Amino acid sequence: MNSHALFTRKPPHKLFFFAAIPGAVSMLASALYQLVDGIFVGQFLGETAFAALNLAMPFVIINFALADLIGVGSSVPISVALGKKEDEKANQIFTCACLMIVGTGILMGILLYALAPLFMMAMGAEGAFAEYAVQYLRVYAICSPVTTIVFAMDNYLRICGKVGVSMFLNILMSVLSAGLEFLFLFVLEWGIAGAALGTCLGMCVCALAALVPFFCGRMQLRFRRPRFRLSMIREIVACGSPNFLNNIAGRITSILMNFLLVRLGTASGIGGEAAVSIYGILMYVEGFIQPLLYGTCDSLQPAVGCNWGAGKYSRVRAIERYCFAGSAVISLLSVFVILLFPSQIASLFMEEADAAFAGEAVLALRLFAFTYVTRWFSFAAQSYMLAVEKPLAASMISVSTALVFPVLLIAALWPLGLRGLWLNFAGTAVLSGILSLFVLLRFHREMKRRIAAQERVDSEDRYAVHEENR
């Protein structure tokens, strides 16, 4: 069964288990190497190196965000083109997108390598704290031309119906990255640069492995002689903008938070590095939960896009119900786990931390847990809007969630000091949920009109067939 038949004919509940479960497992495996990265650095290299990693990470993610802009942005029109059975158009978008990702990776790698010291200086980091952050960021910059395509290939594999291959490569990437990082840190003692190199080498291997079946012509998507068109690039950028803006806005917020944490941590008595480290723990927890949500929703985007392109609007809604339900289950389970085991989660990263650090980390985690009471709703709504070619609505949700609401709440909760920063996440999730509800209610009216129009067409077609048979 090709991907078009798979996405348009398989019953929605079976499609959910076929795509979303492996997709969530795949993203979980992808998240594990990031979690292991933080644990290894915190346990083997100590608090300063762990804080430096978290100081550099927003800049690393900004680099990947540009590749994600192209990867996700091309996936939506590719899926819609396949739904319309325009295979050659899909192949052209795929080919051009891959070349754009590699080119962007080269350019961003050069910029990040050259500007890394200036970035850390602007953040207020000094001495070993700044030096470790520069080393970590520069390794990612050198590997950027190869590593940045790895997540886009994950999307393309799923579009081709190769969910199992995508899951296997993500698991392989986690195992390779963790193994190499352990070797470089514990055995060879290469320091924080070794931690970054281990992760990057794991990504490189899996990116190249993912490209092989496409180069061999064994996938539904095939490389063609590229023909870049301005309309194609605009479409890719428009569809990728919600994810890109979410990533960029989120990293701007992280940079702002780190800037404030260095100062508020010192004022509160636990120290700037300690405050950045606690924020880093929260980001690692989010980095574990969010890929599960992303895997559940994103793995069904090709199916939603394909059915949207084919005009099967009732089927689109049926698939999305499973997206929202799966996201809700994951989020609410996460709330209970974080509330039940905050000290154990904190000790994964800083086992020998002092009492003040441990107490603040536990409080931060407990406040952070309430984020996921409502976070699932805006996450699933953003994914839905993106899959049905509503980039403006998706961008509005993503930018508000990642930047607008957090910055507004920083100002509103400023009198609470560090507690206000920890509460920021839950407050943002509530506001994002309200905004998403308004977006979905407006879109629901459009869907009703589309479904009614489609039913009229189907009824007229059945009547015409009936008359011919008479």
Q: What is the pLDDT of residues 260-285, one digit of tens each?
A: 887 766 656 666 677 878 888 888 88
More confident residue, 32 or 213: 213
Closest CA to 289 of 190, 375, 215, 366: 375
Angle between helices 272-298 and 342-349 (to 10 degrees): 110
pLDDT of res. 430: 95
State the Cα–Cα distance between residues 295 and 80, nearest whole angstrom. 20
Confidence of residue 301 (pLDDT cuts 50, 70, 90): confident
- Residue 272 amino acid letter: G
Q: Which two tokens mark 377?
A: 């709703």
Domain boundaries, the chain: 8-455
37-51, 330-344, 455-469 — most confident range: 330-344
Q: For residue 369, give every residue at least 6 positions away whose Cβ sits within 8 Å of its Cβ, in sequence order, or none.
A: 334, 335, 338, 339, 342
- pLDDT exceeds 90 at position 142: yes
**pTM for this entry:** 0.67
pLDDT the model gives residue 12: 76
Identify which has the larger pLDDT, 268 or 419.
419
pLDDT tens for 195-217 read 999 989 999 999 999 999 898 88
The answer on pLDDT for 464 being more than 70 is: no
Q: Which two tokens stand for residue 204?
A: 């490189």
The two tokens of residue 277 are 């480290």
Highest mean pLDDT among 257-261, 281-285, 460-464: 281-285
Q: Could you tell me how far CA 173 lies from the centroid of its own chain?
A: 16
Is the per-residue pLDDT at 33 higher than 80?
Answer: no
More confidently predicted of 395 and 370? 370
Q: Which range is most confident: 58-62, 300-304, 364-368? A: 364-368
Higher pLDDT residue, 270 or 433?
433
Q: Which residue has better confidence, 422 or 461?
A: 422
Whole-angstrom distance, CA of residue 284 vs CA of residue 346: 10
Res. 432: pLDDT tops 90? yes
| Span of 333-337, 362-366, 444-448 with lowest mean pLDDT | 444-448
3-state secondary structure the chain: CCHHHHHHHCCHHHHHHHHHHHHHHHHHHHHHHHHHHHHHHHHHHCHHHHHHHHHHHHHHHHHHHHHHHHHHHHHHHHHHHHHCCCHHHHHHHHHHHHHHHHHHHHHHHHHHHHHHHHHHHHCCCCHHHHHHHHHHHHHHHHHHHHHCCHHHHHHHHHHCCCHHHHHHHHHHHHHHHHHHHHHHHHHCCCHHHHHHHHHHHHHHHHHHHHHHHHHCCCCCCCCCCCCCCHHHHHHHHHHHHHHHHHHHHHHHHHHHHHHHHHHHHHHHCCCHHHHHHHHHHHHHHHHHHHHHHHHHHHCCHHHHHHHHHCCCHHHHHHHHHHHHHHHHHHHHHHHHHHHHCHHHHHHHHCCCCCHHHHHHHHHHHHHHHHHHHCHHHHHHHHHHHHHCCCHHHHHHHHHHHHHHHHHHHHHHCHHHCHHHHHHHHHHHHHHHHHHHHHHHHHHHHHHHHHHHHHHHHHHHHHHHHHHHHC
- Indicate if the pLDDT at residue 403 is higher than 70: yes
Higher pLDDT, 15 or 343: 343
Name residue 73's amino acid.
G
Note the pLDDT tens digit of each residue in 357-377: 888 889 999 999 999 999 989
With contact defined as beta carbons under 8 Å apart, do 145 and 208 qualify? no
The pLDDT, as a whole number, for residue 180 is 92
In this prediction, residue 51 carries a pLDDT of: 82
- Which two structure tokens, joined as six digits, stand for 10? 């398989």
Segment 13-19 shows an average pLDDT of 73
What is the distance between the alpha carbons of residues 273 and 376, in angstroms, rounded to a whole number? 31
For the segment 338-344, the average pLDDT, to the nearest whole number, is 91
- What average pLDDT does the structure give for the chain? 83
Tokens (6 digits) for 219: 């996938």
* Alpha carbon distances (Å) from 24 to 160, 318, 434, 454: 17, 19, 26, 33
- The answer to whether 29 and 171 have CB atoms below 8 angstroms apart is yes
Mean pLDDT on 76-98:
87
Mean pLDDT of 26-55: 78
- Confidence band, pLDDT 50/70/90 cuts, at residue 465: low
Mean pLDDT over residues 420-429, rounded? 91
Q: Is residue 234's pLDDT more than 60?
A: yes
